Amino acid sequence: MDKFQQSQKNKLFKTPTHDPYSASRIEGAAVCPKCEAVYGAGTWSWKRPENTVVHGAQTLTCPACRRIEDDRPAGTLTLSGSFLHKHRGEIIQLIEHTEKKEKAEHALERIIKLDDATDDLVVTTTGIHLANRLGHALEAAFKGSSEYHYSDSEYGVNVRWSREE
């Protein structure tokens, strides 16, 4: 392993920088007024039918809604390559399907924007986990190659996926 690979490896395994949007633990329960995610015991989750009444909950905007409001993604996924142009519809479908599954399990993992305006497709997410999962889902479904880069200065990940036909 040369020096460059070594530094890439270190980058990959280092602990991510602290997420400025993860609020410090609060006492009791809270409900996000925008998306109705429920906070309790240190985590945000979706209201379960058997748990529709949250007693004494405070109102607190969740980290995902705050990121959406500020347009400050934690994950950015950039897709490129000629394969993308021929299979755009299928690829977008896979992205939306993957988000739906991820979001159902993890309330704070959501897509902020799917920008289809340029040749590349740019997807921004509220969580680093979703950006990673999208990269892996694309590889699993369409092959191609992806790269994952964690930012040194800020909490976040940049994922690039591409495939040329």
Query: 34 to 53, contacts with Zn ion by CB under 5 A?
Result: 34-35, 37
Minimum CB separation from Zn ion for residue 108, in Å?
Answer: 8
For the chain, the three-class secondary structure string (H helix, E strand, C coil) is CCHHHHHHHHHHHCCCCCCCCCCCCCCCCEECCCCCCEEECCEEECCCHHHCCCCCCEECCCHHHHHHHHCCCCEEEEEECHHHHHCHHHHHHHHHHHHHHHHHHCCCCCEEEEECCCCCEEEEECCHHHHHHHHHHHHHHHCCEEEEEECCCCCCEEEEEECCC
With contacts defined by CB under 5 A, name the span among 20-28, 55-63, 81-89, 150-158 that binds Zn ion.
55-63
| 68 interacts with Zn ion by CB under 5 A | no
Q: For residues 78 and 126, which CB has a smaller minimum distance to Zn ion in the complex?
A: 126
| 62 interacts with Zn ion by CB under 5 A | yes
| 77 interacts with Zn ion by CB under 5 A | no
